Amino acid sequence: KAGVTQTPRYLIKTRGQQVTLSCSPISGHRSVSWYQQTPGQGLQFLFEYFSETQRNKGNFPGRFSGRQFSNSRSEMNVSTLELGDSALYLCASSFQTALNTEAFFGQGTRLTVV
Amino acid sequence: GENVEQHPSTLSVQEGDSAVIKCTYSDSASNYFPWYKQELGKRPQLIIDIRSNVGEKKDQRIAVTLNKTAKHFSLHITETQPEDSAVYFCAASAKGGADGLTFGKGTHLIIQP
């Protein structure tokens, strides 16, 4: 069974640009969560989508947005990039049933803003 | 919101010894506590988790304990091996599952041969 797939693996963008990251969850998983990982702040929750609806949101500015498609694939968009947005962006998918809530992470997209 | 503190930030132990990593959380509504292991350049992987209706859970050399009253939980690794070297993250969620996890800052575990 294929794992969580994130594309692209690496990105270099200039300040002020925007970027879109993609996440394909494990087949059958309907929940997709996004996290930002940096050396200073660790792993921070961005938002979670379930059945195309954003259910939870972390404490990030409105420049960070996302969406989920009917096939559960999710995209995350960051507009007006800042140097501080340089990070590893991880998505995680799960079944999100009462008995099965383990989150499986993708390998991440390494975003560098210059 | 939830705040998770994790200690120590770096832990060095001799191969074969035990390692203990501790976390505290602030939101008494948190009810799901997973631990993730992240090797260099790789994705975080769940190694064990515990729910608030359980005080302890074991899986071979790994165990997690939870003290709801004190709002802290710990990861115990016995008979450490070189492949245990990694960064370990604790997390907490009030939603009973993997969405909206609040992570600790991580512990870099170094196993000395």
| pLDDT surpassing 60 at residue B100 | yes
The minimal CB distance from B43 to the residues A55, A56, A108 is found for A108
- Structure confidence at residue B93 (pLDDT): 87
Which residue type does B106 have? G
The minimal CB distance from B97 to the residues A42, A101, A107 is found for A101
For chain B, list residues whose CB is within 8 angstroms of any CB belonging to chain A. 1, 32, 34, 36, 42-46, 49, 89, 91, 95-106
Do A59 and B104 lie within an 8 Å CB cutoff? no
- Structure confidence at residue A99 (pLDDT): 58
In A, minimum Cα distance to B101 occurs at A45
d(CA B105, CA B83): 21
Q: Which two tokens stand for residue B98?
A: 């993997």
DSSP state of B52: T
- Structure confidence at residue A90 (pLDDT): 96
- Structure confidence at residue A71 (pLDDT): 94
Q: How many residues does chain A have?
A: 114
Do B99 and A33 lie within an 8 Å CB cutoff? yes
User: What value does the mean pLDDT take over residues A64-77?
Assistant: 97
Residue A85 backbone phi and psi in degrees, to 5: -85, -5
Convert the pLDDT of each residue in B34-54 to its tens digit. 999 999 989 999 999 998 888
Measured between alpha carbons, how far is residue A96 from residues A33, A85, B20, B82, B99 in Å? 11, 29, 29, 34, 8
The minimal CB distance from B98 to the residues A33, A44, A106 is found for A33
For chain A, list residues whose CB is within 8 angstroms of any CB belonging to chain B. 4, 31, 33, 35, 41-45, 48, 50, 55-56, 58-59, 90, 92, 94, 96, 98, 101-108
d(CA B52, CA A72): 30
Residues of A in contact with B99 (CB under 8 A): 31, 33, 48, 50, 55-56, 94, 96, 103
Q: Check if the beta carbon of residue A64 is closer than 8 Å to that of residue A78.
A: yes
User: What value does the mean pLDDT take over residues B14-26?
Assistant: 98
Interface residue of A96, A105, A110 to substitute, partner B, most B CBs within 10 Å: A105
Q: How many residues does chain B have?
A: 113
* Nearest CA among B110, B91, B112, B94 for reference residue B6: B91
d(CA B16, CA B20): 13
Convert the pLDDT of each residue in A79-105 to its tens digit. 999 999 999 999 999 886 655 578 899
Residues 6+ positions from A71 with CB-CB distance below 8 Å = none
